[in-house]
């Protein structure tokens, strides 16, 4: 997926919740929410981790799991374009 295509699917899906802190102020709002791509990757990661063996889960690096999840998310986004 091209960088431009990724950007178009990185608009916030879920807006941040502003919560007052102890001082009555609000958090900075630096979190722009979750993109559709992030949401799809999170859902894919759940399936990946549920369906691999414990040995594979222990052996794999977190970066490998995340890369696999984002590859699935990118494929889902590409499919939506059809």
Ordered by start, the domain boundaries in the chain are 3-18+26-80
10-residue averages of pLDDT along the chain (82 residues)? 55 57 51 79 94 89 94 94 85
- Residue 81: the pLDDT is 86
- Residue 17: the pLDDT is 53
Q: Which residues contact 76 (CB under 8 A, 6 or more apart)?
A: 40, 44
C-alpha to C-alpha distance for 27 and 48, rounded to whole angstroms: 34
- Residue 74: the pLDDT is 95
- Identify the residue whose tokens are 């791509």: 37
- Residue 64: the pLDDT is 93
For residue 12, give the H/E element and its range: strand 12-14
Nearest CA to 10 out of 38, 30, 31 is that of 38
The model carries a pTM of 0.62
- Identify the residue whose tokens are 């102020």: 25
């Amino acid at each position: 997926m091209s960088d431009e295509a990724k950007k178009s699917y990185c608009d916030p899906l879920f807006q941040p919740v502003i919560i007052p802190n102890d001082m009555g102020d609000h958090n900075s709002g630096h979190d722009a929410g979750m993109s559709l791509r992030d949401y799809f990757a999170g859902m894919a990661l759940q399936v990946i981790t549920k369906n691999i063996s414990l040995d594979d889960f222990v052996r794999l690096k977190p970066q490998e799991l995340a890369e696999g999840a984002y590859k699935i998310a990118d494929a889902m986004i590409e499919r939506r374009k059809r």
